[in-house]
Chains A and B, each alone.
Chain A
Amino acid sequence: GAGVSQSPSNKVTEKGKDVELRCDPISGHTALYWYRQSLGQGLEFLIYFQGNSAPDKSGLPSDRFSAERTGGSVSTLTIQRTQQEDSAVYLCASSLISGNYGYTFGSGTRLTVV
């Protein structure tokens, strides 16, 4: 596609429920990243994929968070047993190659846990 697509754009969920956030990267981009943006905070790194493997999961805040990527393309970030502190905008980015050159970000999924 022309850009990084994320869905849903907004998600309201009840505390304790599981949620899945989806990211469709730019076609051909091998590297994919998830970040979290909380109100008044910068972007917080969550996880990095190179192809289907995740060599760096160091930013996942707890074992309630997991992510996978299939076919070297679509990625899903899953949050189990959501808590109010999980409320944030979850951003996905992709890049043609790994190594921290300029990414293209999606518009994000705004998650609200009530």
Chain B
Amino acid sequence: QQQVKQSPQSLIVQKGGISIINCAYENTAFDYFPWYQQFPGKGPALLIAIRPDVSEKKEGRFTISFNKSAKQFSLHIMDSQPGDSATYFCAASMIPGNQFYFGTGTSLTVIP
């Protein structure tokens, strides 16, 4: 059973637009929610993460919005650039814990 559900599977955005990727989880014991960015042939790299005690976290053009009551969180990429074209994975875990539960990924293409 997929512990973290991610949508959409793929996304095409014009340069300068906003990219939005959504994730939902069921396990209320999760208390750490990272997003990873993966380029072809590379391993995932931590992009930004949030704990459930805040509703939003922003780092540069990347923002996580977190809705604890709905058990949903999303990644917003403002002013999307062609260099942002990659696969994005949301994840959830317990702290402390031994593993992350990953979503199935979103392939983002930013068109120049």
**Which A residues are in CB contact (< 8 Å) with B101?**
45
CA distance A105 to B45 in the complex (A): 7
**Which B residues are in CB contact (< 8 Å) with A1?**
none
The B-contacting residues of A in range 5-57, CB under 8 angstroms, are 33, 35, 40-45, 48, 55-56
Given A42-B89, A102-B49, A4:B99 Cβ within 8 A: no
Chain B interface size, under 10 / 10 to 19 / 20 to 34 / 35 or more: 20 to 34
How many interface residues does A have (CB within 8 Å)?
26
**Which A residues are in CB contact (< 8 Å) with B44?**
43, 91, 105
Tell which of A60-68, A69-77, A79-87, A92-100 binds the partner: A92-100
B42 at the interface (CB under 8 A from A): yes
The reply to whether B99 and A33 contact each other, CB–CB distance below 8 Å, is yes
Of all chain B residues, the one with the shortest Cβ separation from A59 is B99
The reply to whether B41 and A107 contact each other, CB–CB distance below 8 Å, is yes
Report how many A-B pairs have Cβ atoms within 8 Å: 63
In whole Å, how far is A75's beta carbon from the nearest beta carbon of chain B?
Answer: 15
Given A41-B104, A43-B89, A105:B99 Cβ within 8 A: no
In whole Å, how far is B20's beta carbon from the nearest beta carbon of chain A?
Answer: 19
Given A99-B95, A100-B93, A100-B95, A106:B43 Cβ within 8 A: yes
**Which A residues are in CB contact (< 8 Å) with B93?**
100
CA distance A102 to B4 in the complex (A): 18
B13 at the interface (CB under 8 A from A): no
Given A42-B104, A100-B32, A55:B98 Cβ within 8 A: yes
CA distance A98 to B100 in the complex (A): 12
CA distance A4 to B45 in the complex (A): 12
Interface string of B87-104 (1 = CB under 8 A from A): 001010111111111111
